[in-house]
Amino acid sequence: MTADPPAVWERRLTRYADVRAVLADPRFLVPAAPAVPLGTGSGPGMAWLRGAVSRFSNGAEHARRRARVLGLLDTLDPVRLRREARERTRAELAGGAPVDVMATIARRVPVGVLATRLGVPEDRREEVVAAVTAMAAAYHLPAVSDAPPARDAADAAVGVLAAALGGGDAPEPGLLAAVAGVLVQACDATAGLVGNALAVVTRMPADPAPRWPVEAMLAEILRWDPPVRVTRRVAAENATAGGVSVPAGAVLVLDLAAANRDPEVFPGPHRFDPTRFRRGRGGSGGHLGFGDGIRPCPGEAAALALAAGVVEAAAGHRLADPQIPYEQIPYEPSPNLRVPARLCLHNPETAEGPR
C-alpha cells in the first residue's frame, strides 16, 4: 500500500485588489521549473527550455534572464512591427473569399514578424512559426506534453528554432532561451487577443475605428475577454492574501478574467466599452491582461503593436457567419487561455464564393 500524496493548499482569488496585491508581493513566487543541463551530443528540448526561460524562474536568476529578454525587446520598433503585421495581414485577406484568421493569420503573422525581427532568416520564417506553435502548445502543460509523441515533437521544434537562429551553428543557450521565451509567450496569447478582438469588432454594423482608437479597443478586449485567464503564484512563506492566512507552499490561482470584471473597479463590468481606455490601460484601474506588479509581461508593447496591425488590416471585414452568437464561438481547449478555434472573415465589398 502506498500513501496518498499530500494535498496542496490552493485558493482562487477573483477580486481585483486581491489579485494586484499578490502580483506585487515578493513573498509569492511563480511555480518554478527545474534547470536541465544540455546533455553532451543532444540538442535543447522543452524540459531544458522551461528550466532556462525567465517565465518559470524567480529571484536573481529571473532578474538576469528578464534583463536579457528586455534587451532583445528594446531593439524592436513597435511602429515597424505594427506596419509589417498590417501589410502581411492585408496580403492574407486579399480577395473576396472567406479567410479563417485563426488558421492563417492570428499566430502566423505576429510570430512571423517577431521572429524575423529577432534574427530568424526570412527563408526560415514559416518553418519557425510552425515550430513556435508546437512549442507553445507544450510550454505550459508539461504533464501532457512530456508523453511521447508530443514530447518528441516539441523537442524537435526547439531544435528547429535553434538551427534557424544559429545559422548552422548552435546558438548561445541564453540567447536561444530568451528568443524562444519571447516567441512562445507571444504566440497563443497574441492569437487570443487578435481572435477575441476580431470576434467583437467584425460583427459591428460599421467599422468602429472612427469611434474608438485600435489601442482602446485592444485594451478593453484585454479587460473584457482576456486571452490569458489565470496565473498562479506559490507562497514562499506564511503570508496573507484576500484576507485569509496562506501557509508556505500554498498555491494561489489568480483569476485575471474575474478581476478584470470587478464592479468595484470597472462600472458596468460586463459591458464592452473601449471609452474606458482612451488614454491607455491606466494605472490603479488598468486591466490585468499583461499582469501587474513585480513581473508584468515584458512584451506588452510588441504584442499590442502586432495585434493592432492585424486588427487595422481587417477593418471593413465582417464575420462570414454573423448569425453565430459571441457566446457560441468555438474555442481551443485550454485551462488558462481563451483562443478562438475558428473565425472566418470576408470583405463584403469584394465577396466571392468559398475558397
pLDDT tens for each residue of 257-279: 999 999 999 999 999 999 998 76
pLDDT in tens, 299-348: 999 999 999 999 999 988 888 887 788 888 999 999 899 999 999 998 88
Number of independent structural domains in the chain: 1
Separation CA 326–CA 255 (nearest Å): 21
> What are the helix and strand counts (H, E) for the chain?
13, 9
In a domain, 273, yes or no: no
Nearest to 235 by CA among 244, 246, 243: 246
In a domain, 223, yes or no: yes
Taking the CA atoms of residue 113, residue 117, residue 123 and residue 124 in that order, the dihedral angle to the nearest 10 degrees is -80
Give me the helix-helix angle, 300-313 and 78-93, nearest 10°: 30
In a domain, 179, yes or no: yes
Q: Lowest-pLDDT range, 36-45, 127-136, 323-332? A: 36-45
The per-residue pLDDT of the chain, averaged, comes to 89
Chain mean position to CA 334? 13
Burial 143-174 (b: 16+ CB within 10 A, else e): eebeeeebbebbbbbbebbbbbbeeeeebeee
In a domain, 271, yes or no: no
What is the CATH number for 118? 1.10.630.10
SS3 252: strand
- The mean pLDDT value for 166-182 works out to 90
Give residue 305's identity as a one-letter amino acid code.
A
Instruction: Please report the pLDDT score of residue 43 as a whole number.
Output: 74
In a domain, 193, yes or no: yes
Instruction: Please report the pLDDT score of residue 269 as a whole number.
Output: 96
Selected residue with higher pLDDT from 9 and 227: 227
Nearest to 291 by CA among 28, 32, 9: 28
List, in sequence order, every beta strand (DSSP E) within the chain: 10-13, 28-29, 99-100, 230-235, 239-241, 244-246, 251-255, 318-319, 344-346
Q: Lowest-pLDDT range, 5-9, 55-59, 191-195? A: 5-9
Selected residue with higher pLDDT from 270 and 204: 270
Separation CA 252–CA 234 (nearest Å): 6
Instruction: Please report the pLDDT score of residue 81 as a whole number.
Output: 98
In a domain, 283, yes or no: no
Separation CA 54–CA 51 (nearest Å): 8
Give residue 211's identity as a one-letter amino acid code.
R
Percent of the chain with pLDDT over 70: 89
Range of 74's domain?
Answer: 10-264+291-350
In a domain, 272, yes or no: no
Instruction: Please report the pLDDT score of residue 353 as a whole number.
Output: 44
In a domain, 229, yes or no: yes
Its sign, for the CA torsion 60, 62, 63, 68, is positive
DSSP structure string for 60-111: HHHHHHHHHHHHHHHT--HHHHHHHHHHHHHHHH-SSS-EEHHHHTTTHHHH
Burial 38-65 (b: 16+ CB within 10 A, else e): eeeeeebbbbbbbbbbbbbbbeeebeeb
Q: Which three cell numbers stand for residue 230?
A: 489565470
Instruction: Please report the pLDDT score of residue 212 as a whole number.
Output: 86
Instruction: Please report the pLDDT score of residue 5 as a whole number.
Output: 44
pTM of the model: 0.92
Instruction: Please report the pLDDT score of residue 157 as a whole number.
Output: 95
Phi and psi torsions of 14, nearest 5°: -120, -20
The pLDDT of residue 37 is above 90? no
